[in-house]
Structures are given as structure tokens and as C-alpha cells.
């Protein structure tokens, strides 16, 4: 009833935005869409499986560096190849890392993911010859749909073809995630979150399902990371730093981890709020820290929770 | 050869002494309040900057340079009182929440404190200059070690013993241990938890700020020092075991010395080695070396 209307309005707004909005705001939409993909995956782990990763920036880093290595060193410029390569690289790393991490829950899961994230960060920082150290690596402008888009200036390329390409990736990622969450697999994850013992006794292999969720979220993060690298033009180790992991968890919470579209709203609010705050006050972390504290204490359901409060209170209690 | 070895070892032990203070603060808060305080590194940074300012004020007003350690330690301890504000103003709202929210609230503190420090002291590194050389250098087995470093190591040891005495011999220590063990039971026996939490959190904060203040004569204060230290302190408590004081002590020594050895032998390995050990410990012995039952 209401949801389809809202979704089609949002869809029209997204399609028409580059035509009507100033270029600056269109370029801000690019990190939003990249983080949107990351957060869809992160929320599968956080909101739907109940595991909070404090090292997820690891996979953003993997995706971004895959893009940079492919474009600058290996001469692979097609985004249609870069994204699957990023996903593959993330899956290869996430398989063993996830298998170890999902044996733990809560704070131990968080600590283990943080440690793995920092291993990768240190590797990026210290192995200068391979990774460019703290200066990072350039991400060259990728080809889209086989075309180089040579006639386009940097901005025209970003707000034109790249914008629509990112939008298509985001829409595909959203549809796929919608299917995953609605599938029996998605229902199993929710059962595991709410009552792991019961899930186990119903025949759900809890560690294996957690591991699948971890892999999927890692792949999403890497695809988002690769998308993020192009507008930045440069990738550096801070992408994998633990505070970046904290920031993306913050985005999910800001939007509302209890709902499907919450993380997307969170990414949007985070990017635009950050831009607004930074333009008037250089210390955005102070404001954002206060916002985060406010959300944690008074509105744990996030922005979505504020909208939906009357219909369905978000349950937050010590599990 | 021995001189070199002693140098590496003493550097490691000095770093361990500081790490122990911060990690001890993390442990006492985790043990009693069950909150993993990501902001302990930020308190450390806050202590460091306050220490620089306190020493600067002291010397500018004619204080004898040889006594700089007094305003340094006092400044570090005093700014630790910010723990009261944080506990009463923020943390007390989330004790009955899921630990994810507690963790995120301390992350909010990390963000806020980082910028508060930038606003107050600016982004350029600040230091106390060469003041610590006032205490001269000691020669140990051919190596030259600043006496200041030895003082800090001794102070940290004394604090470790003091915490041990506090926990095992005093009424407050018994209450802390009882609350850590079984909060409901302690409350039922008449312990006012609000009072315990304020004091424990402030104690934890003060350990962190004191650690920051004491490290500063040997280095310079930078706004990122907090978020960098938290991952080291985190390595310490994982290796030692969450919530254990003895664990913090041993963990700090392991991390401090290993880091020092790695820096001089193969610098690329520095922190990588420590995180790999953390991962190994978490996988084979998630409780850490001295941890209680696994959560």
C-alpha cells in the first residue's frame, strides 16, 4: 500500500537527480550508494544475524584495493570485471576469517573481527612496495559497459555514467538482499539471532549459517568498497582502520538496524549530515559522537525507529 | 650486544608500564560494569595533553624543572575526574542494554573526545621538550637508559601493587570483586551499585589519564594517539584475559617487549605480530591467559 508508492517516488528521485540537482550533491550521492551496498551486507550480519563486526572495514579495503591494483597495475579497467574480482577476493579472505570468527558471539566476535581488520590495515601500511604504504594507490577511472567515456570530464563522468552505474549496482544489491532476507535462509538467520539454542534444536546449523551470512556481508562490503574507490580516486590504509569499521556500524544504527531500508537511510543521513556539519564546523566528530550517544540512549531504533515508533516498537534488551 | 639487548628490553618495559596502566583501567571497568570501554585510549590522550599543559604552566610560573613530575602526575589524575561526568551523564543509561549499544556508546565517546582534544590543543603535536633529561641517564650493563623511564616503570609497578592491595585487602576491593562476580547478589546485600559504578569508572579513567600523562615526557602528544593506543590496550587484555588484573600485567609485558623487539629486528612486523598473537590467543584460548570463564 504505502511502501510501493514511497519506493517509486524514491526511484524517480534517484533517476532524475543528476538532471535537476547541482553537480556537487550528485557527487555526494556516489559515496552514499557505495556505502549503501556495504551497509546492506553489514546489516545482514548486524541486524538479521545479531553479530556486530568491528572489523568490517577490512572488506571495504579489500574491495577498494582490488580496484586500485587492477586498474593501475594490471591494466584491467572494466568495472564489470572489477566488481566480481573484488567480490571474489573478499570471499577468499572471508572464508577462513569468517570460519574462525563465527565460533564466537558478542564482544568476542567483535574483538576477533577488529583484530583481523587491524592485521590487514598494518599489512597495507607497512608493506610499502606492494601497497604504497600510507600514501595508498591510485584508482584509475574504470570503463563502464565497455566504454572509456573519453569525452567526459571527471565530474561529468562521475555524475553521469558512473552515477547510473552505481545506482544500478545498488538496486541489484538491494533486490538480491531482499530475496536473501525473505528466503528460508534469511528466516533461519533471524531465528539464530533471536534464539540460537532453539535454532540449533530445530536442526539449523548455527555456525554454518553465521558463516554464510559473514561471507555474504563481506562480498557486499568489497563491492561497495570498489564502488567507493572511483569517486575518491585514491585508496589508502585508513579505509581498513578500525574507526572506519566503527563508522559503518554507526551508519547502520543511525538509520535503524531493525528494518530493511534503515541502513540505506543511515548511509544517506550520515553522508549528507557530515557534509553539512563540516561546511560550518570543522569538528564533525564532536557532533557525530553526540548524535551517536543520543541514538544509543534515546532512540536505539534509529531514524526508521522514530518513524515507525507507533506501529512497532523496536525491541532492545539484553539478550 | 648486551647493551643493545638491554636497550630494546628497557624500551619494551617502559612501553609495557604505560600500557599496563591503560589496560588496568580497561579491565577494572570491564570486570565490574561489563562494558568494554573503547574510549580508554581517548582518556589516555586526554591525560597526555593535560600533562603537557600542566607542566607548561608549572615551568612558566617558575616551578623548578626537576619537580615537573609532580604537576604532570597531578594533572593526569585530576583530568581523570572526567570519568564521573561520563559515567553519570552517559553510561548509566545503558547498563541494562545489549553490549553492542554499550560498545557503540563508548565509540561515541572516542569520536567526541578526539575532536574535543583537537579543539582545545590544536592539531600540531605538543610535547614537554627535553624536560625528562633533568633526571639524567643511568648506565645499565653498558646501555644508557633515561632515569625518567625507570621512575615510570617503578611507579607503574607500585600502582600494580596498589591495585592488588586495593582489590584484595580493602572493603572497597571486596565490594568490587563481589559486584564483578554477582551484581544482583551484591545489590541484595545492600551494595549501592550507582556508587560502585561511579567510583570504578573513575578509577579506570584515572588509570588511563595517568598513563597518558606519564608517557608524554618521553614522546609527543598527537591527536591520533588515543585511537592508536586502544588497539594495543585491546591486544593486552585479549592476551591477558578480559577482566583480569594479573592478565593486564602479563599482557602488557608481552605486548610491550614484543613490539620493542619487532621494531628493532624487523620493523614491518611491528604491530602485525601483535595482532597475529591476539588472533591466535582468541582462537585457542578465548579467555586469555588469566581470564575467567569464557563469555
Whole-number pLDDT of residue A318: 41
> Among residues A66, A79, A73, A40, which one has the least CA distance to residue A218?
A40
> Among residues A137, A153, A147, A126, which one has the least CA distance to residue A229?
A137
Tell me the C-alpha to C-alpha distance, in Å, between residue A104 and each of A99, B38, B160, B211, B218. Answer: 10, 20, 31, 31, 39
Only one residue has cell 553489514, namely: A42
As a whole number of angstroms, the distance between CA A280 and CA B55 comes to 34
As a whole number of angstroms, the distance between CA A100 and CA A117 comes to 14
Contact A136, A237 (CB under 8 A): yes
Nearest to A316 among B98, B112, B295 (CB): B98
Subunit contact B238:A317, Cβ cutoff 8 A: no
Q: Please report the residues numbered 241 through 280 in chain A whose beta carbons come closer than 8 angstroms to any beta carbon of chain B.
A: 242-243, 246, 249-250, 253
Q: What is the ipTM score, two decimals?
A: 0.86
Q: How many residues does chain B have?
A: 295
- Beta-bridge mates of residue A138: A234
Nearest to A110 among B93, B103, B110 (CB): B103
Subunit contact B103:A290, Cβ cutoff 8 A: no
Subunit contact B97:A123, Cβ cutoff 8 A: no
Tell me the C-alpha to C-alpha distance, in Å, between residue A239 and each of A118, A128, A218, A222, A265. Answer: 11, 16, 14, 11, 21
Q: Is B293 exposed, middle or buried (0-12, 13-18, 19+ CB in 10 A)?
A: exposed
Contact B203, B43 (CB under 8 A): no
Size of interface A-B (CB pairs under 8 A): 128
Nearest to A293 among B36, B108, B227 (CB): B108
Whole-number pLDDT of residue B295: 36
State the cell numbers at B45: 590522550
Element at B143 (helix H, strand E): strand B143-146
Subunit contact B286:A286, Cβ cutoff 8 A: no
Q: What share of chain A is helix, strand, coil (3-state, %, to 5)?
A: 75, 5, 20
As a whole number of angstroms, the distance between CA A33 and CA A21 comes to 16
Nearest to A118 among B94, B275, B282 (CB): B275
> Among residues A6, A5, A64, A1, which one has the least CA distance to residue A264?
A6
Whole-number pLDDT of residue B293: 43
Subunit contact A317:B96, Cβ cutoff 8 A: yes
Q: Please report the residues numbered 52 through 71 in chain A whose beta carbons come closer than 8 angstroms to any beta carbon of chain B.
A: 52, 54
**Block mean pLDDT (10 aa), chain A, length 319:** 79 82 85 93 89 91 92 86 92 92 83 88 84 83 80 80 90 92 88 85 85 94 92 88 91 87 90 89 89 89 74 46
Per residue in B255-291, pLDDT (tens digit) is 999 888 888 888 777 778 888 888 888 778 777 777 6
Whole-number pLDDT of residue B245: 86
Subunit contact B271:A122, Cβ cutoff 8 A: yes
Chain A, nearest residue to B102 by Cα: A296
Three-state SS for A223-235 is: HHHHHHHHHHCEE
Chain A positions touching B111 (Cβ under 8 A) are: 285-286, 288-289, 292
Subunit contact A288:B111, Cβ cutoff 8 A: yes
Which residue ranges of chain B lie beneath pLDDT 50? 293-295
pTM of the model: 0.88
Q: How far is A311 from chain B (nearest CA, A)?
A: 22
Chain A positions touching B114 (Cβ under 8 A) are: 285
Chain A positions touching B231 (Cβ under 8 A) are: 114, 118, 242
Amino acid at each position: 500500500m504505502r511502501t510501493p508508492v514511497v519506493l517509486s517516488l524514491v526511484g524517480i528521485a534517484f533517476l532524475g537527480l543528476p538532471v535537476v540537482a547541482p553537480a556537487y550533491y550528485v557527487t555526494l550521492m556516489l559515496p552514499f550508494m557505495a556505502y549503501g551496498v556495504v551497509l546492506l551486507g553489514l546489516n545482514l550480519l548486524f541486524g538479521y544475524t545479531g553479530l556486530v563486526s568491528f572489523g568490517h572495514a577490512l572488506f571495504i579495503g579489500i574491495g577498494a584495493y582490488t580496484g586500485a591494483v587492477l586498474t593501475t597495475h594490471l591494466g584491467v579497467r572494466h568495472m564489470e570485471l572489477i566488481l566480481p574480482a573484488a567480490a571474489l577476493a573478499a570471499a577468499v579472505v572471508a572464508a577462513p576469517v569468517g570460519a574462525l570468527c563465527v565460533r564466537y558471539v558478542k564482544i568476542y566476535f567483535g574483538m576477533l573481527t577488529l583484530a583481523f581488520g587491524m592485521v590487514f590495515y598494518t599489512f597495507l601500511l607497512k608493506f610499502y612496495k606492494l601497497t604504497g604504504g600510507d600514501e595508498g594507490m591510485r584508482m584509475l577511472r574504470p570503463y563502464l559497459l565497455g566504454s572509456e567515456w573519453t569525452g567526459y570530464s571527471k565530474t561529468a563522468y562521475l555524475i553521469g555514467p558512473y552515477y547510473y552505474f552505481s545506482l544500478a549496482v545498488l538496486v541489484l544489491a538491494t533486490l538480491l538482499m531482499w530475496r536473501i532476507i525473505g528466503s528460508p535462509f534469511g528466516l533461519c538467520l533471524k531465528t539464530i539471532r533471536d534464539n540460537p539454542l532453539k535454532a540449533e534444536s530445530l536442526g539449523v546449523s548455527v555456525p554454518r549459517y553465521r558463516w554464510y551470512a559473514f561471507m555474504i556481508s563481506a562480498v557486499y562490503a568489497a563491492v561497495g568498497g570498489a564502488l567507493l574507490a572511483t569517486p575518491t580516486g585514491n585508496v589508502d590504509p585508513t579505509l581498513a582502520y578500525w574507526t572506519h569499521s566503527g563508522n559503518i556500524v554507526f551508519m547502520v544504527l543511525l538509520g535503524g538496524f531493525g528494518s530493511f531500508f534503515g541502513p540505506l537511510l543511515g548511509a544517506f543521513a550520515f553522508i549528507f549530515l557530515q557534509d553539512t556539519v563540516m561546511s560550518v564546523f570543522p569538528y564533525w566528530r564532536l557532533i557525530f559522537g553526540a548524535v551517536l550517544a543520543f541514538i544509543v540512549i534515546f532512540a536505539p531504533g534509529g531514524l526508521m525507529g522514530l518513524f515507525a515508533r507507533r506501529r512497532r516498537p523496536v525491541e532492545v534488551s539484553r539478550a | 650486544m648486551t647493551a643493545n639487548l638491554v636497550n630494546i628490553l628497557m624500551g619494551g618495559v617502559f612501553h609495557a608500564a604505560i600500557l599496563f596502566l591503560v589496560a588496568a583501567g580497561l579491565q577494572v571497568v570491564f570486570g565490574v560494569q561489563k562494558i568494554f570501554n573503547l574510549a580508554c585510549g581517548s582518556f589516555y590522550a586526554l591525560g597526555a595533553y593535560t600533562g603537557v599543559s600542566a607542566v607548561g604552566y608549572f615551568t612558566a610560573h617558575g616551578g623548578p624543572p626537576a619537580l615537573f613530575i609532580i604537576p604532570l602526575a597531578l594533572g593526569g589524575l585530576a583530568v581523570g575526574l572526567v570519568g564521573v561526568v561520563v559515567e553519570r551523564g552517559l553510561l548509566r543509561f545503558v547498563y541494562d542494554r545489549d553490549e553492542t549499544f554499550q560498545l557503540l556508546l563508548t565509540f561515541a565517546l572516542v569520536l567526541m573526545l578526539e575532536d574535543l582534544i583537537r579543539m582545545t590543543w590544536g592539531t600540531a603535536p605538543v610535547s614537554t621538550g627535553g624536560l625528562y633529561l633533568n633526571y639524567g641517564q643511568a648506565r645499565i650493563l653498558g646501555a644508557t637508559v633515561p632515569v625518567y623511564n625507570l621512575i615510570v616503570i617503578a611507579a607503574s609497578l607500585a600502582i600494580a601493587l596498589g591495585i592488588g592491595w586495593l582489590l584484595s585487602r580493602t572493603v572497597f576491593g571486596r565490594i568490587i570483586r563481589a559486584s564483578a562476580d554477582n551484581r544482583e547478589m551484591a545489590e541484595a546485600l545492600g551494595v549501592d551499585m550507582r556508587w560502585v559504578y561511579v567510583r570504578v569508572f573513575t578509577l579506570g579513567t584515572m588509570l588511563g589519564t595517568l598513563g597518558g600523562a606519564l608517557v608524554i615526557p618521553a614522546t609527543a602528544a598527537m591527536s591520533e594517539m588515543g585511537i592508536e593506543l586502544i588497539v594495543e590496550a585491546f591486544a593486552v587484555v585479549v592476551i591477558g584475559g578480559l577482566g583480569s588484573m594479573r592478565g593486564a600485567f602479563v599482557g602488557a609485558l608481552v605486548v610491550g617487549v614484543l613490539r620493542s623487539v619487532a621494531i628493532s629486528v624487523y620493523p614491518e612486523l611491528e604491530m602485525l605480530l601483535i595482532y597475529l598473537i591476539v588472533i591466535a590467543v582468541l582462537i585457542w584460548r578465548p579467555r586469555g591467559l588469566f581470564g575467567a570463564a569464557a563469555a
